[in-house]
């Protein structure tokens, strides 16, 4: 729309005329009898912009990234049924963006790619862990719902690759919500990342499915996994051997809260006693991993005698690892399984983790 010239008297009279014609008279009562009018000073709410993506060309765009590039902050991107083989990045400028599967069933809408940290770009440089991510979400107040994001990298298919981190999702914004989704990979499936180690970056995952085998929930952000289904994938180890590790947090020591799994189900087809619940990632001297699993069903695949282990010479006993009232074949209490007391547990809830400095509560 062309901006009117503020110095044009004719345009000024025209605008006043439009204002008079747009006033609304009261329909009943004394005001109508007196011929009074009411003028609304509240601007009309602008309709939300919905951008559609469809593989068959029936939407506005055929790729998710093209829609992201075109979207404004606060827009909604509705992704139609299909498999989208692409790398997706949501920059910080797209605050409030919503990406949703059009059918409401995450199995129908799949964003996928084959990329590992050890792969190299056109310049011959390795991608590294962050660069291996299929989807990188950097914007605050982001919502992702009803989609599958999968990194299909296979160690067996690429024995020449030694850097086998292959991230499906990097969540590195604040007040991010993921609900009704599926995130699938092997090593490093979901990265909860705080670009500033002591900054406020909170991510909430609910009613979703997450699968992996090595450190596949990891990072230094504050993240809550609430009522999710987590699958420990079977790498073929015999009972008592080693199939993998669920989590590898590297929370900054200045932060009270790292990663919480609550009210969830952890399942596995793997043999008994082949999985650790976690190990402390210690890439910097100020990293002191914080991780709690509470009110969650644990499978027989968990190493019941000691579900925590050291990482790169850093003892798990120096980390902040706790359980609370877990159930299932993989749950027990012993000297190698620190438990929260009831008073302590009151301070390690989803609400406490996510409240931050602004009282954010996406749980409802």
Which residues are tagged catalytic?
215
CA 46 vs CA 6, 49, 50, 53, 142: distances in Å: 25, 9, 12, 22, 20
CA 132 vs CA 44, 335, 350: distances in Å: 44, 38, 29
Contact predicate 278/248, CB 8 Å: yes
Q: Which two tokens stand for residue 307?
A: 């579900």
Dihedral (Cα; 235, 236, 242, 247), 10-degree rounding: 20
How many CA atoms, within 13 angstroms, populate the side-chain half-sphere of residue 310?
6
Report how far residue 128's alpha carbon sits from residue 120's, in angstroms, rounded to the nearest whole number.
9
Q: Within a 10 A sphere around the Cβ of 320, how many other Cβ atoms?
A: 18
Beta strands in 253-362 (DSSP E): 259-262, 265-267, 275-278, 290-294, 320-324
Three-state DSSP at 70 gives helix
């Amino acid at each position: 729309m062309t901006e009117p010239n503020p110095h044009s008297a004719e345009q000024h009279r025209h605008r006043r005329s439009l204002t008079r014609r747009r006033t609304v008279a009261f329909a009943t009562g004394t005001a109508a009898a007196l011929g009074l009018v009411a003028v609304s000073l509240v601007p009309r709410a602008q309709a939300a912009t919905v951008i559609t993506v469809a593989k068959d060309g029936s939407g506005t765009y055929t790729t998710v990234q093209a829609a992201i590039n075109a979207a404004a902050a606060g827009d909604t991107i509705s992704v139609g049924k299909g498999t989208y083989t692409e790398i997706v990045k949501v920059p910080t400028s797209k605050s409030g963006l919503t990406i949703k599967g059009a059918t409401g069933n995450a199995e129908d809408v799949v964003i996928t790619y084959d990329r590992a940290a050890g792969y190299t770009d056109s310049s011959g440089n390795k991608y590294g862990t962050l660069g291996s991510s299929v989807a990188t979400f950097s914007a605050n107040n982001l919502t992702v719902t009803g989609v599958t994001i999968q990194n299909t990298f296979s160690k067996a298919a690429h024995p020449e690759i030694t850097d086998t981190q292959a991230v499906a999702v990097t969540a590195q914004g604040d007040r991010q919500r993921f609900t009704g989704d599926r995130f699938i990979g092997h090593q490093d499936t979901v990265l909860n990342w705080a670009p500033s180690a002591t900054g406020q970056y909170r991510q909430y995952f609910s009613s979703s499915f997450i699968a992996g085998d090595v450190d596949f929930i990891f990072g230094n952000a504050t993240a809550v996994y609430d009522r999710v289904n987590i699958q420990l994938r079977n790498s073929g180890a015999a009972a008592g051997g080693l199939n993998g590790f669920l989590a590898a947090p590297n929370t900054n020591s200045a932060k009270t809260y790292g990663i919480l799994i609550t009210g969830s189900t952890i399942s596995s087809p793997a043999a008994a006693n082949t999985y650790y619940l976690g190990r402390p990632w210690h890439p910097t001297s100020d990293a002191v991993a914080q991780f709690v699993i509470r009110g969650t069903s644990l499978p027989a695949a968990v190493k019941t005698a000691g579900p925590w282990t050291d990482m790169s010479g850093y003892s798990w006993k120096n980390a902040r690892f706790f359980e609370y009232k877990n159930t299932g074949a993989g749950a027990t209490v012993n000297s190698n399984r620190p438990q929260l007391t009831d008073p302590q547990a009151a301070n390690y809830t989803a609400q406490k983790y996510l409240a931050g400095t602004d009282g954010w509560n996406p749980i409802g």
